[in-house]
Amino acid sequence: MNSFEFFAPTSVDEALDLIVSKGEDAKIVAGGTGLVNMMKQRLVNPEALISLGAVRGLDGLEISDGKVRIGALCNHQALVKSAEVGQMLPLLAETYSKVATVRIRNFATVGGGLVHGDPNQDPQVSLLALNADVSLRSKSGTRTLPLKDFMVDYYETAIRPDELLIDALVPVLPNNAGYAYLKFLPRTADDYATVSAAAVTVLEDGVLKDVRVAFGSAAPTARRCQETERMLTGQRPTPEALRAAAEKAKDLADPVSDGRGSAAYKKEMVGVFVRRALEKALERAGGAVNGR
């Protein structure tokens, strides 16, 4: 690793001033779990690090107008432990609990994870299914983007070099919603997913009123499965309907072969895990799949 200058601003404004004055030679660091690995591998060689660790007011959870605002510096384990998240966004608590190990979760932050942009990460999949937005702030103001537009490509997001990710804004799940995040881990329990899937389902009189589905680890970013959702919305969730809709999700898969599996295998697993996530979400919504 090269030597670098280290800055520890205590406010967002101070951090934004430093980002502008240090320019492209500097990198923001939050938990450091992604960036420091990249520095060790010399994939990035910043001359300055601007740490967010001492910035005040970015690690809170706020609930208003049916939404949970999660500060960028909230660490993963804080979300797993939060009673509010457990009650209002149980899908998120379930998802963050499946990230790596508690040691990593104690450092890795919500904002750092989203900007890191590794398609094998877990949180993006469920945040997509939860219709999350992200807020980005620069010296010229704050803008809010749907997460689906924030994620661009492998390790690439829509954040500009002069911006900080400030928080994620997540609509609360209705009480009667079923939910599930499934992570396929054929190697070790602390690995990145071979394939993952998230589902949210709301049933009314046995009919699917709301269905949201996303998968991860099988395309350049996590992907929302709109055609799958369209096929199921307004339908009774029969095994045949679920199978056909889950198969449709495979059309969106564009995986790469790696140590976790071949591209063809991952594509097949997208269909399997989307179906299983839907089944588990339906079970939790109080409606086991008809015909079973």
With residue 36 as reference, give the H or E element that holds it.
helix 35-40
Q: What is the DSSP secondary structure assignment for residue 86, as one 8-state letter?
A: H
- The helix-helix angle for 263-284 and 239-249 (nearest 10°) equals 140
Percent of the chain as helix, strand, coil, to the nearest 5: 35, 25, 35
Residue with structure tokens 């679920």? 242
Distance of CA 64 to the CA centre of its chain: 21
The nearer residue to ligand FAD, 118 or 254, going by C-beta atoms, is 118
Candidate residues 184, 192, 215, 273; the one interacting with ligand FAD per rule CB under 6 A: 192
Verify binding: residue 30, ligand FAD, rule CB under 6 A.
yes
Give the integer Cα–Cα distance in Å for 148 and 250: 18
Q: In sequence order, which residues have a C-beta less than 8 Å from that of residue 93 and are 6 or more positions away? A: 79, 80, 82, 85, 86
Verify binding: residue 4, ligand FAD, rule CB under 6 A.
no
Distance of CA 127 to the CA centre of its chain: 5
Using the contact rule CB under 6 A, the part of the chain among 27-35, 77-85, 201-209, 246-254 near ligand FAD is 27-35
As measured in angstroms, the least distance from the Cβ of 259 to ligand FAD is 14
Candidate residues 74, 132, 164, 195; the one interacting with ligand FAD per rule CB under 6 A: 164
In this structure, which amino acid lies at residue 24? E
Verify binding: residue 82, ligand FAD, rule CB under 6 A.
no
The nearer residue to ligand FAD, 100 or 272, going by C-beta atoms, is 100
Candidate residues 88, 165, 208, 242; the one interacting with ligand FAD per rule CB under 6 A: 165
As measured in angstroms, the least distance from the Cβ of 52 to ligand FAD is 6
Using the contact rule CB under 6 A, the part of the chain among 3-11, 22-30, 203-211, 253-261 near ligand FAD is 22-30
Residues that bind ligand FAD (CB under 6 A): 27-35, 37, 52, 72, 99-100, 104, 107-109, 111-113, 115-116, 118, 121-123, 159, 164-165, 192
